[in-house]
Structure 1
């Protein structure tokens, strides 16, 4: 049976986002082996195998070196470890799937039937990006059979660099993110109004907006859910009405969001956010919550009729005051517009469309070029998910 061998810079048990949504669904059709970036500092080189989900195995390499990330110093040992593990598992027919071009040098010993590059971020613009990343991406684009992008901005940036680029913006699991979930105990004591954000807190977040809102309205509670990464925790604004709750389980996120009055997308406008397509936008909407965002292109273009777009703390305060003053009729009208959006997209549909492209490519019938305006993924129609137990991973 054909498998998907995935190389990712993201830990499977980190924030639950695009890779987990897509791959856990594709695993109903093809066993998935998800290879994380190495963990340094081990006494010996080995691969830890984790049964992460039905049909999904996580392979976590533990290596004797001291370099973090997918460093080129690990090329030889990673090639040997993975090739030997695949041989022992009897995994001989597979596609390679990349979330980072930095893994490409690890795969020179492998002979895939095809290659997918799922470009969910412009990693070269992130803080700490290795200088060789752009060259590795060029090499990956040269080898890939299919290129998926995580949003329209990325699609426009990549479409002229490959013959088969397909746009798959962030989607939503509306059955999971639904209105009316009981409040989470960690925030039950917080007064209303509550304004909330969930996601990674890093250089992409405009902390000045958070602080400005909190100072303007000491009676508003700001609930920040998510891990801190690549910034000094000491830089987080500390005020009595700002609550930093850290990373929470994906299963618990609806309980937080449903307890908020307004959801925030307080992104800084910088290189790291130029191409982002925030997964949380639709998750907020699916929980029935109004949103305020900065002018992120992949939020503005599809959702500006239902998301309030503002530039700074004063603008966020004004937008939130307006939302809190809405009449029930105004709220109901906006809810109808949101329902149209949510009903038109799903991770089930996204994964099904991706799978169809892979199957078509395997059969020699992949479409050469997607039309910009009518192509796959602007809003992927919901498709019933295959049973998660249909196929199980064969690697061991």
Structure 2
């Protein structure tokens, strides 16, 4: 299986790198031209032209986000999307709304939401506390966290209102700033922007949160989202509060709230739930139902390889 990265520098690949037996990461698909009948995994419709570089590839189209998020979105991209949906051996979608949008093109779309590797968020006893987080914990306040992109889909008005009304809580924000969206966050003494961290380091933060949040705006993009952070928060044992995006509605382990007053009230109610046996059971059930291992088996079965 070959995955072509759009960001070779970030993924630390220059050419073709075998991550594990049979799984390759490529910065230039021409280097995989000698592989016979590889599975070419595509997330961006405009990449379908790369199939011509490989020997009889098996195409998998994995639709992971609403099309409007792509800066190249327009009539040409929609034409590529329709063609890829027809040509691919399997079409996957991470959210029900994405699947529904593809079904006029392809009835057999397979719903494969994002998930988590629980072992990545099982912090070993005695693991050191990251220094920047230790400084926040030393203030003695409950800590509410956010892990993910600082992007337009974050409800900055909601976040600013909540942090202003809760000076007794510390808010820790981890992630990369996309397009300068972070400039919309009001600076406050109880808000701590710690920046982006490598994935293996996230457990050191997430496992020490009193609550975690998904403060997204409600629009066509977020309603079609499948946030990885949802499953990572739960695997880390953090009670989760979210705005009512589709991925969180109906999940018993998540408190859903809309508007500053309701959202802050839900966060305060979540603070004591990390060690609550009943809530822990809900979190564990949600994690067990959404593991990457299970998703892999689902896709392999669909490809006839399981």
Indicate if the aligned counterparts of 2:169 and 2:190 stay in contact, CA closer than 8 A: yes
Correspondence for 1:5: 2
Q: CA offsets per residue over residues 231-275 of structure 1, 9 Å max, x none? A: 344333211211111110111101101121100001111232121
**Is residue 59 from structure 1 mapped to residue 26 from structure 2 by the alignment?**
yes
Distance 1:154 1:160, change over 3 A: same
Distance 1:287 1:310, change over 3 A: same
Correspondence for 2:68: 125
Q: Which secondary structure does the structure 1 equivalent of 2:83 belong to? A: helix
Number of residue pairs matched by the alignment: 299
Q: Which structure would you say has the larger RCO, counting Cα contacts within 8 Å and 6 or more residues apart?
A: 1
Q: How far, CA to CA, are the matches of 1:262 and 1:52 in structure 2?
A: 38
Q: CA offsets per residue over residues 137-161 of structure 1, 9 Å max, x none? A: 0010110110111123322332342
**Is residue 288 from structure 1 mapped to residue 237 from structure 2 by the alignment?**
yes
Q: Which secondary structure does the structure 2 equivalent of 1:202 belong to? A: coil
Structure 1 or 2, whichever has the larger Rg, is 1
- Aligned pair partner of 1:243 in 160, 182, 192: 192
Distance 1:105 1:113, change over 3 A: closer
Correspondence for 2:295: 350
- Aligned pair partner of 1:167 in 95, 99, 111: 111
- Aligned pair partner of 1:341 in 286, 298, 305: 286
Alpha-carbon distance, 1:336 to partner: 1.2
Distance 1:86 1:50, change over 3 A: closer
Q: How far, CA to CA, are the matches of 1:11 and 1:275 in structure 2?
A: 27
Correspondence for 2:174: 225
TM-score by length of 1: 0.69
Alignment of 1:35-184 (within 5 A): 48-49=14-15, 51=17, 53-55=19-21, 56-61=23-28, 82-83=29-30, 85-87=31-33, 90-122=34-66, 124-126=67-69, 128-131=71-74, 132-178=76-122, 182-184=128-130
For structure 1, which segment, 51-60 or 149-158, has the greater mean C-alpha deviation from structure 2 after superposition? 51-60
Distance 1:144 1:188, change over 3 A: same
Distance 1:326 1:146, change over 3 A: closer
Correspondence for 1:390: none
**Is residue 188 from structure 1 mapped to residue 134 from structure 2 by the alignment?**
yes
Correspondence for 2:259: 312
TM-score by length of 2: 0.88
Alpha-carbon distance, 1:121 to partner: 1.1
Q: How far, CA to CA, are the matches of 1:233 and 1:349 in structure 2?
A: 35
Structure 2 spans left out of the alignment, 5+ residues = none
Q: Which secondary structure does the structure 2 equivalent of 1:161 belong to? A: coil
